[in-house]
A and B are shown apart, each in its own frame.
Chain A
Amino acid sequence: MDMRAHDTPVATLADLLPGQHATITGLSGESELRTRLQSLGLRPGRRVTVVRRSRFGGPIQIRLGTSDLLIRPQQARTIFIK
């Protein structure tokens, strides 16, 4: 199989395992979601840590500085990280 046919997948917040951290590089959701994410502190340049993930595809607990948030994997996939 030709690997070049696929783009290198961009890492998103949904890919992180508990305990891992990364820096947010961009938001790709629609504008209302982006506004909400930003006012919760999820914006490019911020460091984010995944604290825990729940079972059965439930929400992810993330930590930004001193704030903890719950976010579903579906929305976490719209947040690019490096």
Chain B
Amino acid sequence: MKRVALLGMPNTGKSTFFNRLTGASAKVGNWPGITVDLLSARILLGTEMVEVVDLPGIYNLHGFAEDERVARTFLEEQPVDLLVVITNATQLDRQLALALQLQALGQPMVLLLNMIDEARTLGIHIDQQRLAQELGMPVVAISAKHGMGMEQARQAITQALHEAHPPRAADIERTFAEDSALQTRLDAIFSATVDVPVSATDRLTDRLDRLLLHPWLGLPLFFVAMLGMFEAVYTLGAPLQDGVAWMLERVKTGAVSPAVTAWPPLVQSFVLDGLFDGIGTILSFLPIIVLFFLFMAIIEDSGYMSRAAFLMDAFMSRLGLDGRAFVMQLMGFGCNVPALMGTRVMRSRGLRLLTMLIIPFSLCSARLQVFVFFTTAIFEPWAAPLVLFSLYLFSFGAAFLTAVLYRRRLAHAEPLLLELPPYRFPTLRQMWLRGWREVTHFLREASGFILFGVVLVWILTHFPKDVPVASPETLAGQLAALFEPLMQPLGIDHLMTIALLFGFVAKEVVLGALAVIYGVGESELAGIVSSRIDWVQAYSFMLFVLIYTPCLSTVAVLKQESKSWRFTALAIGWPLLLAWVVSFVFYQGARWLGL
């Protein structure tokens, strides 16, 4: 099968184009370094099946960050029939350099001038024909985001593939020599083909930046916006969640219960209390998760992330980190796994490890479910968003404290050089793609890890058979008893301890476990929980959930990316210790104050 590689500088729209061309749903965001791994899809071009590969962005062929290495290794090791180089048409003065470098590899190429919509708005004029002549390759102007020029691009690729010679891997070392000659050629081509008006800047971006990057208002605005987002997640999400929970309850009493009445009691309990309540409770949070990710999609696509790096870099550098580490923390709010992968853009190992050490403290969407549940069950409606916000502050606090403690051991001297893209807004199509991505991801997790966790909880809380469910005599009860001396000083009883134990698998399981333990669905669970624990216990529990090891996937990625068992052990052990200390201090402190 023929193979096409998509290449270009970071943030030029390679993944957007990949999605348009292949119908895939690769993650897109207005941040250089969203794609850090290979992604491929097969499509029919003309009469043949072709494999299209989306690669991480590269600035040149000599970069040594992990994401650039991925692209470079791919080029060196995999035979490719055609390179499709994607450029940001508004920045050809520097982006053509990569095209020229790649051309020196001698492989057939097609050049795409993406973001032509933005180029037009800025009044930039590009003489495409002349450019194609000068470069000796097909040039097509497109807007991958809005779908302009896609047909021409598809044709150009098909045509070029048709004429292509046998595929081969690139010999990058050999083409290392270049630079000044290339630079001269670039300048000549650029001035002959591109016409940029004197003041080609995005006015809206400039105006927004004056406010959002304001020396004194910038950071307060950031926190106000964050608080606003959680208010919105609550006000919009809570009713939706109740709706789903209500519906699931109806299905349970109306359809599932009658269907299984003939079965042995143990099997009934497994189906109803184990599978249905366990998974159902988790599913009821789907609307909140989707809503939350839509907000995240807007933020990630807005270009605000680079601004956050600007605002926080001075502070982060005192912690031995940089502004990008802060951005990774924010991305970790969605899910820690992609945020950990995102550290591949960092070159120095010290900086990367330190960042990977703090990312698991980011309050991810799985923990968000647990907290939304507990805050709505225990706190007044007006207080719930504030309580949630305070947990986000704890999340930052734990991360910053960790960085301070480990910055010497993981020291580095990596410069910060970061693009500041213009503000953008996702199209409905992009939001839909993102929402769909998250739903499928969630369902895949729910049918894998989470199902496994919930089934395990059911087994451990229902055996041996002749004792009350989840009582101290059950397997789970005995396990929890082992931890009792540790957990009691935190105000966490043995049933909650069971939930925490299984939260190791994935945080969603915490709620699933509680549902299984109490044998009820989400709608009744809140009442039971609020009658059994007070707010101090609940908050202590939430602090523990926030800080301790997030989930097995995170652990796996920590190991995969660090390639070190010692580091992985540290990244598991330290948060556990910290979680215990923080919950202990909070719980005992609150009790001491008489709360």
Interface residues of chain A, those whose CB is within 8 Å of chain B, are 32-33, 35-37, 39-41, 43, 51-52, 54-59, 61, 63-72, 74-75
Contact = CB atoms under 8 A, between A and B. Distances in A.
B24 interface: no
A66 B124 CA distance: 10
A74 B416 CA distance: 10
B310 A40 contact: no
**Interface size class of chain B, counting residues whose CB lies under 8 Å from the partner chain:** 35 or more
Given A54-B314, A72-B415, A67 B94 contact: yes
Contacts of B418: 59, 69-70
B8 to A, nearest CB: 12
Nearest to B90: A66
Interface string B405-429: 0000000000111111100000000
A75 B415 contact: yes
Contacts of A72: 313, 317, 415-416
A37 B417 contact: yes
Nearest to A46: B93
26 contacts: A36-B59, A36-B63, A39-B59, A40-B59, A41-B93, A43-B183, A51-B209, A54-B313, A55-B215, A58-B311, A59-B309, A59-B310, A61-B310, A61-B420, A65-B91, A66-B124, A67-B94, A70-B310, A70-B313, A70-B419, A70-B420, A71-B416, A72-B313, A72-B415, A74-B415, A75-B415
Output the residue of B62, B94, B183, B419 with the most chain A CB within 10 A: B94
Nearest to A49: B201
B223 interface: no
A63 B417 CA distance: 13
Given A35-B62, A39-B59, A54-B311, A65 B196 contact: yes
A71 to B, nearest CB: 6
Interface in B187-205: 196, 200-201
| Secondary structure class of chain B's binding surface, majority of residues | mixed
B62 A59 contact: no
B122 interface: yes
Interface in B175-223: 183, 196, 200-201, 209, 213, 215
Interface in B351-401: none
Given A67-B419, A69-B418, A75-B415, A54 B310 contact: yes
Contacts of B183: 43
Contacts of A64: 93-94
A40 B36 CA distance: 19
Contacts of A70: 306, 309-310, 313, 323, 416-420
A54 B313 CA distance: 9
